[in-house]
Structure 1
Amino acid sequence: MKNSLLVKILLLVILVLVVIGGIYIYEDKYGGKDNANKDPIAIDDLVKITDKSDLIRVTEPIPNSVIKSSFNIKGQARGTWFFEASFPIKLVDANGKQIGTAIAKATSDWMTENFVPFEAQMEFTAPKLAEGSAPQVATGTLIFQKDNPSGLPVNDDELRMPIKFDLSAPAQQTVLLYYYSPSKDQDGTANLMCSKQGLVPVQRKIDITKTPIQDTVKLLLKGELTSAEKAQGITTEYPLQGFELKAASLNSGVLTLTFADPYNKSGGGSCRIGILWSQISETAKQFAGVVSVKPWPEELFQP
């Protein structure tokens, strides 16, 4: 009886060992293959989404946003991402073709390991739509490259951001906005001359419309200077409270600009109003056919 019980126990132990061994062999033979197939995918996915936020952070544009042919770029990057206060940015389309470049400029001291704010403006030429085709949105990638003066691959790094651009967006043109730099408007004894000599043009993009003069002057009156332009000493008093362009009329070379100025912000001392008006008139004169510019009502820009 005892021998029979021992035999049964022994057979049960052997059966358990066989089952465990079979499971081990199966996992080693087949489970390993599954893991081998899965691991590269997981690693590849990890590489694609590697977090660079400890090195560079972009606040404008945001991932997958739609950009026009001229757009601003803002963010922060470690000082080690820069060289001589700058680093390159490029835009490629879905096929990897480069369609735009820009140089990001640090807006504060870059010689630090801390985060440094940067700004850039990029222009690119999107592919043209075939006549009669429906509006389309294409994809691309914005690439923020660590500046690497050594040229050594080990020092390369980049942040890739998916982006979209609207192929049906209106065509644009480059215009000049004239603002003011006091340092460029001084005589030999550093006295302010309040002259056109201090005017400085900055480039902007506007949509091509039937009213380019009005569109450009309205953009000027917003007074939107970049941090880089301000760092160069360029200034403006615009925007003025309540002051806005209402109409424009060109007749025999004379451009009449009609403004609303409910708070009389265009008045003041002769130096101030001279500079304010010069910014408007020089901006308007860049357009063909404009010989002279006058404000309406006539009492505007009077001391």
Structure 2
Amino acid sequence: MKLFLTMMMAFVFLGFGCVAPDNDGDDFGIEPMDEITETLDLAMEEPEDMSAINVTLPVPGSTVTSPLNVVGSARGNWFFEASFPVVLKNAAGGTLAEGVATASADWMTENFVPYTVTLTFASQPAGSAGTLTLVRDNPSGLPENAEWLDVPVVF
């Protein structure tokens, strides 16, 4: 038993002797908090090119009628199985039309892919406002993957 205790104590002392401070003199290689914060700030910077979707038609603020043809291009990660949802709402937030924009080229890319969708809706009071919402398809349902683009329109 004495031999066992002696060996255990030797391992413990040798173990502590093997842990050496890093070059900064910090014990156990722990980084100062300001270095960690700086690293996190760099990781959270937005990329220079944040545009992931473009709408060619309708132009924001333009007058729209039914049927509404929506045309544009989006990066491949906006699509799932070559499509993503599109919703047209009135000023009160009521849904007037829903549709699915479909890619007209290979969507399995990081590049821009053209899309189209046609929405049919009941006529609205002239001059009233609405919003066309293009929603990134998010099959995972994870909030961090949720993205959308609102395009203001006039009826």
Same fold (TM over 0.5): yes
SS in 2 for 1:141: strand
Runs of 4+ in 1 over 4 A off after TM superposition: none
Name the structure 2 match of 1:222. none
Q: 2:56 aligns with which of 46, 59, 75?
A: 59
User: What amino acid is the match of 1:149?
Assistant: P
Name the structure 2 match of 1:110. 107
CA offset at residue 53 of structure 1?
6.2
User: What amino acid is the match of 1:116?
Assistant: V
Name the structure 2 match of 1:141. 131
Query: 1:162 aligned to 2:152?
Result: yes
Question: What is the distance in 1 between the residues matched to 2:136 and 2:51?
Answer: 13
CA separation of 1:53 and 1:155: change in aligned 2, threshold 3 A: closer
Question: What is the distance in 2 between the residues matched to 1:116 and 1:60?
Answer: 15
Name the structure 2 match of 1:96. 93
Question: What is the distance in 1 between the residues matched to 2:97 and 2:148?
Answer: 16
Query: 1:85 aligned to 2:75?
Result: no
SS in 2 for 1:54: coil
Name the structure 2 match of 1:292. none
CA offset at residue 157 of structure 1?
0.3
CA offset at residue 137 of structure 1?
1.3
Question: What is the distance in 2 between the residues matched to 1:53 and 1:162?
Answer: 20
Q: Does the 8 A contact of 1:137 with 1:164 survive in 2? A: yes
TM-score (norm 2): 0.66
User: What amino acid is the match of 1:107?
Assistant: S
Q: Does the 8 A contact of 1:141 with 1:160 survive in 2? A: yes
Comparing both structures, which one devotes a greater share of its residues to helix? 1
Question: What is the distance in 2 between the residues matched to 1:120 and 1:53?
Answer: 23
Q: Does the 8 A contact of 1:75 with 1:119 survive in 2? A: yes
CA offset at residue 126 of structure 1?
3.0
Name the structure 1 match of 2:118. 121
SS in 2 for 1:67: coil
Larger RCO (alpha carbons 8 Å, 6+ apart): 2
CA offset at residue 71 of structure 1?
1.6
Per-residue CA deviation, residues 102-141 of structure 1 (Å, 9 max, x unaligned), is 11000000000110000111111134x6xxxxxx311000
SS in 1 for 2:107: coil
Q: Does the 8 A contact of 1:99 with 1:126 survive in 2? A: no
Name the structure 1 match of 2:65. 68
Unaligned runs of 5+ in 2: 1-48
Question: What is the distance in 1 between the residues matched to 2:141 and 2:93?
Answer: 22
Question: What is the distance in 2 between the residues matched to 1:72 and 1:82?
Answer: 18
User: What amino acid is the match of 1:114?
Assistant: N
Question: What is the distance in 1 between the residues matched to 2:114 and 2:138?
Answer: 19
Paired positions, count:
107
Rg larger in 1 or in 2? 1
| Structural RMSD (CA) | 1.4
Question: What is the distance in 2 between the residues matched to 1:53 and 1:75?
Answer: 16
CA offset at residue 163 of structure 1?
0.3
Percent same amino acid at aligned positions?
Answer: 46
Question: What is the distance in 2 between the residues matched to 1:100 and 1:119?
Answer: 15
SS in 2 for 1:66: coil
Question: What is the distance in 2 between the residues matched to 1:83 and 1:143?
Answer: 17
